[in-house]
Structure 1
Amino acid sequence: MSHLYGNLDDFGMDTISLAGPLEAKLAAIQAAGFTQVMLSARDVVGHPQGFAAAVAAVRGSGLRVTGFQVLRDFEGLSGHLHEYKIDIAKSMLEMASALGAKVLLVCSSTSGHASQDLDALAADLRKLAMLAVPLGIKVAYEGLSWGRTVNEFTTAWDVVSRADAPNLGIGLDSFHMFATKTPLDDLELLDPAKIFLVQLADFMWQEIRSVEERITTARHFRVFPGEGVHSEALADLVTRLYKLGYRGDYSFEVFNDDYQQLPLDTVAARAWRCASWLGEDVLRRTVPLPNQMKLRQRIG
C-alpha cells in the first residue's frame, strides 16, 4: 500500500501474546505476515539452549526486532540500589544489542524507594541514555499507569524533556493512556521525532475502577486493537499520531491469558486482522464502526 497512508510493515507483534518456545513464536508471527517482533527478556533468557541460541533464532527468523523490554524501577534510586540498577541496565543493553534491538523500553518506577523529584528522575534517564549511545540504542521511557510519580505520558514527556538526551525519547502505550483517561489532545505537546515506540492494545470494559483492576487487566486480559470496546479511541490515537508526524513502529502489547491457551497461528492471525484494520482502513481515513470490525473477524 502507499507509504502516504502507513504500511502494514509498521505493525508488529509482541512475543508475550503467544505460548510456546521462542522459535515457534517467531515462525507464527512471520507466517501471519508480520515483518517485526517485540522481544521480552523472559523469552530469550529462558531459551533451553541458552541466550546465544535465542539470539541465533531471532537473527535467523528474518524478523526485524522492534525493541527489547523491559527495564523496570530504574530511575530515582540512590546508593547501592542505584548501582544495582545500573548493572542491570548495562546487562539489558548488551542483550538488546546482541539481538539487534534498536530500542530499550523503560517503564516508569513504581518503587516507594525512588525519589519523586522530576529532575532526579531525568538525571538517571540521561545516564542510562549515555550508556546506550555506544551500542546505538535508543531508550523509550513509558509512563506506567500505576507508576508512583510518572503515570501519564504527559509527565513522562516532561521528564524526557528535562533529561535532554538525543537518544532518549518517549514510549506510548494505549492501554495506559486509556486507563488514566489522559486527553489525546495532549499528544500535541510531543515532538514526533522523540516518540520512539507506540504499543497498542484494547480491553473489554470502559471503566477501570481501581489500581488493582488496572494491573490485573493490563497483565492478563488485554486484547488486540479492535477486539475490545475502545476501537474508536484506538483509531483516533493512530490517526492523531500520523497527523502529528509519527512514522515509527506500532507493536501490539497484548497480555492475555486466553491467548496463551490457543494455537499460535490462531492468535497471530487475529493480530494480523487487527494490523490490516489499522494499516489499511484507519490510516486510509475510512474508520470502520466497531461492529463492522467484529463482523470482519467472524468471517475472516
Structure 2
Amino acid sequence: MNLLDGYGMDTITMAGTLEAKLAAMKGAGFSQVMLMARDLVTHPGGVKAAVAAVHASGMRPTGFQVLRDFEGLSGHLHSYKLDIAKSMLEMCAATGSKVLLACSSTSRHATQDLDQIAADLKKLAMLAVPLGIKVAYEALSWGRTVNEFPTSWDVVCRADCPNLGIGLDSFHIFAAKTPLDAIEELDPSKIFLVQLSDFMWQETPTFEERMTTARTFRVFPGEGVHSEQLADLVLRLDRIGYRGDYSFEVFNDDYQQLPLETVAERARKSATWLHQDVLHKSAPLPEWARQRA
C-alpha cells in the first residue's frame, strides 16, 4: 500500500501547466488530485484536452471545486446559479470526480433562512444523482449565514439527501475558532471531503484578514503554528470513523514561485507526518518543522 494513499494535493498550490502539475504530484508519490474548474477552462487545448490529461495521468480526482454562492437565491439569480451548477457538474463528471465542492454563500442577496438554504442544496444534490456525484457543502469562515461547520452540518441534516454531505476545511475551522468538540456530532459517512492546511499566525479577527490569509498565505500541515490543533482535528476525525480522503488545499503566493517538484516534496513530507506520526504515534509537531522554526 502506498504511504500517500488517502492524501492528495490541490492544483491551486502550484504554478505551471496542468500536465506539469500532475506529473510533479505523481512523481512525489501522490495518486490523487483536487481539481479546479479553471484547470479545465483555461487549458490551451480546451476542456476536452484537460480531461484527457487527467485521465492519462492515472491520478484519481479527490474532488472538483468550487461552486460558490449557490444557495439562498431567488428569481433570476437562482436560475442563473442553477445553470452554472449544471455546467460545473458536467465538468466534474467528465474528469471522473465523485465529489463536487460547494462553499457557503457570501452573497448579500441570499436568504438567511436555513430551511431555504437546505432546500436549494437538496436541489443541487438531486441534479448530481444521475451523474453519480456527491455534493460536499463547506462552511467558509467569512460566509454570510453559514460560516462554521456545525451550521453546515445542520443544513445538511435539514436537507436529508443521501448524496449531500459536508466538506471540512481546517483553515476555516481554525480561523473561526470553532471548538473541535463539535466533530463528535458528525456522522463520518456524511463527511465527503476534508481539506487540510495551516498558516503562520494565530489571529484572523476580520473577514478581510481571513480572506487574504486563505488566498495567499496558507502552508502545508505541519509548517505553520497550528500543528497541534491540526493533529487534534485529524485524530478526532479518525476516532469517529472517518476513512475518506485528505486534500491539501494550500493557497500560497511563495509556492507559486518555486519549482513544482520542490512544492510536491513539501506536500509529501506533510502527508508522511500525518500518516506515520499523527495517526500512528500522535506526535504533535514534525521534526523537520521544529528544525525550520
TM-score, with structure 1 as normaliser: 0.95
Alignment length, in residue pairs?
293
Q: Which residue in 1 is equivalent to 2:272?
A: 276
Q: Is the 8 A contact 2:36 2:66 kept in 1?
A: yes
Partner Cα distance (2:75, 2:191) in 1: 31
1:193 aligns to what SS in structure 2? helix
Selected match of 1:196 from 192, 197, 215:
192
Question: 1: CA distance between counterparts of 2:242 and 2:206?
Answer: 32
- Partner residue in 1 for 2:70: 74
Is residue 218 of structure 2 the alignment partner of residue 222 of structure 1?
yes
Give matches, 1:129-140, under 5 Å.
129-140=125-136
What secondary structure does 2:250 align onto? coil
1:116 matched to which residue of 2? Answer: 112
Instruction: Give 1:289 shift.
Output: 3.1
Contact 1:273/1:297 (<8 A) preserved: no
Aligned to 1:248: 244
Taking only the aligned residue pairs, the percentage that are identical comes to 74
Alpha-carbon distance in structure 2 between the residues aligned to 1:288 and 1:241:
16
Paired letter, 1:254: V
1:87 aligned to which of 70, 83, 89: 83
Q: Secondary structure at the match of 1:37?
A: strand
CA distance in structure 2 between the aligned counterparts of 1:187 and 1:125, rounded to whole angstroms: 22
Task: Check if 1:98 corresponds to 2:90.
Answer: no
Deviating 4+ runs (over 3 angstroms):
295-298
Partner residue in 2 for 1:44: 40
Question: Structure 1 stretches of 5 or more lacking a match?
Answer: none
Instruction: Quote the offset at 1:190 in angstroms.
Output: 0.5
Residue 179 of structure 2 corresponds to residue 183 of structure 1: yes
Partner SS state of residue 148, structure 1: coil
Aligned partner of 2:154 in structure 1 is 158
1:294 maps to 289
Q: Which amino acid aligns with 1:187?
A: I
* 2:121 corresponding residue in structure 1: 125
Task: Report the TM-score when normalising by structure 2.
Answer: 0.98
| Cα distance, 1:295 vs structure 2 | 4.6
Residues 249 and 297 of structure 1: CA distance in aligned 2, closer, same or farther (over 3 Å): farther
Match of 1:259 among 255, 260, 274: 255
